[in-house]
Amino acid sequence: MAWTEPGRRRAYRARSTSSSRRRTWTLPSKSSTRERYLAGAVLAGPASATGAQEQLAAADEAEPQDPEAALGLVRAAQAALDKAGFPAHAYVLDDRVVALLLRLERRPEAARLLLDRLWSRIAADQPDDAAMTLRALEGLDGPPEEGDTDSGDGPAGNPFVQAAIRNARRALVVRL
């Protein structure tokens, strides 16, 4: 198989293993605006093609001083990527959202996001990804938030986070 460039058109030639004849496919030299846009998105990256790159850069700048604003910018970038048809790229930003939520001491929201991710991985029949998400969810049950106490045995974690972990474990056991 080889790429050739006769004139301005590109042709793809492949040799058939069953016969000695050559087959030639010619790609169109002019493409529609949408096709050029999509090709540019693949080459330049979805973040720059959707405008999410600017939002992520602004989030990087805002994060040290104002994590709440950075969280809003990252979520806006996720929405732009998802709306443009790049849900997998938006999904990758979930880890950053979780980190910002933890920095803002909003563990239940972070747990909810991870629990939603876990259910989507189970629905997509991806138990390995679901198990990794469960480990991330279990990591949220670290040092408790201020004011949470148990029955005198010392500080306890957030009850919502603990319930989310129990439900996630059950879901994985049932699924496997």
Domain boundary among 89, 104, 119: 104
pLDDT, residue 169, reads: 85
- Tell me how far apart the alpha carbons of residues 51 and 84 are, in angstroms, rounded to a whole number: 10
In this structure, the answer to whether residues 86 and 57 fall within a common structural domain is yes
Q: Which of 12, 93, 69 is nearest to 3 (CA)?
A: 12
- Tell me how far apart the alpha carbons of residues 121 and 137 are, in angstroms, rounded to a whole number: 14
Residue 18 banded pLDDT, cuts 50, 70, 90: very low
In this structure, the answer to whether residues 71 and 117 fall within a common structural domain is no
pLDDT, residue 68, reads: 95
Residue 82 makes CB contacts below 8 A (sequence gap 6+) with 90
- Tell me how far apart the alpha carbons of residues 114 and 144 are, in angstroms, rounded to a whole number: 18
In this structure, the answer to whether residues 139 and 86 fall within a common structural domain is no
**pLDDT surpasses 50 at 86:** yes
Give the pLDDT confidence of 119-150 residue by residue, as tens digits: 888 888 888 888 888 888 888 876 544 554 44
pLDDT, residue 37, reads: 61
In this structure, the answer to whether residues 126 and 81 fall within a common structural domain is no
In this structure, the answer to whether residues 80 and 135 fall within a common structural domain is no
In this structure, the answer to whether residues 81 and 146 fall within a common structural domain is no
Domain boundary among 104, 120, 138: 104
Residue 16 belongs to a domain: no
In the block, which residue shows the tokens 């990794």? 132
Residue 149 belongs to a domain: yes
Number of domains forming the structure of the chain: 2
Q: Which of 129, 125, 112 is nearest to 165 (CA)?
A: 112
Residue 122 belongs to a domain: yes
pLDDT, residue 156, reads: 56
In this structure, the answer to whether residues 78 and 119 fall within a common structural domain is no
The token duo for 99 is: 């980190």
pLDDT, residue 35, reads: 63
Residue 20 belongs to a domain: no
Residue 154 makes CB contacts below 8 A (sequence gap 6+) with none
Give the percent of the chain with pLDDT over 70: 65
In this structure, the answer to whether residues 129 and 117 fall within a common structural domain is yes
Residue 67 belongs to a domain: yes
Residue 165 belongs to a domain: yes
Residue 22 banded pLDDT, cuts 50, 70, 90: low
Give the pLDDT confidence of 94-126 residue by residue, as tens digits: 889 999 999 999 999 999 999 999 888 888 888
Question: 68-96: string of b/e by CB count within 10 Å (b at 16+)?
Answer: eebbbbbbbbbebbbebebeebbeebbeb
Residue 65 banded pLDDT, cuts 50, 70, 90: very high
In this structure, the answer to whether residues 149 and 176 fall within a common structural domain is yes
**pLDDT surpasses 70 at 19:** no
| Residues constituting the chain | 176
**pLDDT surpasses 90 at 76:** yes
Residue range of the domain that includes 113: 106-176
Q: Which of 17-21, 32-36, 87-91, 94-98 has the highest mean pLDDT?
A: 94-98
pLDDT, residue 1, reads: 43
